[in-house]
Amino acid sequence: MHNAAFAELGIEWHYRLFPTESADLPSLLDSFEAKKIVGANVTMPHKRTIMSYLDHISEDARIIGAVNTVHVKAGERSGYNTDWVGFLNALNEAGVEPTGMHAVLLGAGGAARATCYSLARAGADSITVVNRTIEHGVDLVKDMAEAFPACHIAFRPLSYETLHQLSATIDLLVNTTSLGMHPNVSASPWPKEIAISSAAICCDLIYRPLQTLFLKQARKSGHATINGLGMLVHQGAVAFEIWTGQNAPLETMKEACLAALDVDP
């Protein structure tokens, strides 16, 4: 999507992959100037590790505990997190305003941290984080509750009982786990026999496939759904704007993503 955006705006830059081991991150960053690299996206498992090698980290990335975008300017390396704003822009684009909502997040990894930050910052009334590994969920909730004392943020260990108890209270249900992601498309983070409150909006951060089993089940039971494409495009658009200082061509980026995912919208 970035190469399509550069081409559209006549920017003679190129976006390419640098598969990297953790131990090689410092030398890769050191080589940026010689390679004329002005910025980078960082994916798992480097989103946290990279923070040790940067000169500045944005306040949001510090609270989330992850950097997904690096910008190098005048020899200084700055780290940002664009996932949280990408998620919020995707919700807004779908007409969803989280203020006052009770959101339930399934998962407590990097994407969950960005999503929780996003919802708390947007004024959600309460957020319940449900996760398999207790320590990950407890850590996430501790960090976010400290940053957003007005939002009621709680952790519940993942179990059938937990999901059953929460099911009637949900305004926004977000799958931030990798359950259902290609190639394991027959997995779902939500048991289909537990009915979700009828007004709940169901959202999946996964974009491959665009219609996960979780979203298919939610649609079948009449819920509004949001897939991971909007977040993908919007987090990329914010990174593009950090690097170039220009408005991102959103439609072009979305079309490029859809072409790469080889699917219809």
**Taking the complex as a whole, how short is the minimal distance between the CB of residue 208 and ligand NAP, in angstroms?**
7
Distance CA 215, CA 195 (A): 14
DSSP state of 125: S
Q: Note the Cα 239 to chain centre separation in Å.
A: 13
Q: How would you list the strands of the sheet with 201-204, edge to edge?
A: 152-157, 126-131, 102-106, 172-175, 201-204, 224-226
- Tell which one of 49, 126, 178, 252 touches ligand NAP (CB under 6 A): 178
Helix (H) or strand (E) holding 103: strand 102-106
For residue 82, what is the DSSP state?
-
CB 117 within 8 A of CB 151: no
Q: Does residue 209 belong to the site contacting ligand NAP (CB under 6 A)?
A: no
Q: Considering the rule CB under 6 A, would residue 48 count as an interface residue with ligand NAP?
A: no
The residue at minimum Cβ distance from ligand NAP is 109
How big is the CA angle at 15 (ends 10 and 17), to the nearest 5 degrees?
170
**Residues known to be catalytic:** 47
**Given the structure tokens 């992959």, which residue do they identify?**
17
- Under rule CB under 6 A, residue 50 binds ligand NAP: no
Q: Residue 62 or 136: which CB sits closer to ligand NAP?
A: 136
Q: Residue 142: what are its φ and ψ, rounded to 5°?
A: -60, -50
State which residue, 85 or 181, has the beta carbon closest to ligand NAP. 181
Count of residues touching ligand NAP (by CB under 6 A): 25
Nearest alpha-carbon partner for 44 in 24, 67, 10:
67
| Binding test (CB under 6 A) with ligand NAP, winner from 39, 109, 209, 249 | 109
Q: Which is nearer to ligand NAP, 111 or 215 (CB)?
A: 111
Nearer to ligand NAP, 69 or 131 (CB): 131
What residues form DSSP beta bridges with 106?
Answer: 130, 175
Segment contacting ligand NAP (CB under 6 A): 2-10, 51-59, 106-114, 194-202? 106-114
At closest approach, how far in Å is the CB of 168 from ligand NAP? 22
Q: Quick check: 104 binds ligand NAP (CB under 6 A)? A: no
Site string for ligand NAP, 220-239 (x = CB under 6 A): --------x--xx--x----
C-alpha to C-alpha distance for 174 and 167, rounded to whole angstroms: 13
What residues make contact with ligand NAP under the rule CB under 6 A? 44, 83, 86, 107-112, 131-133, 136, 176-179, 181, 205-207, 228, 231-232, 235
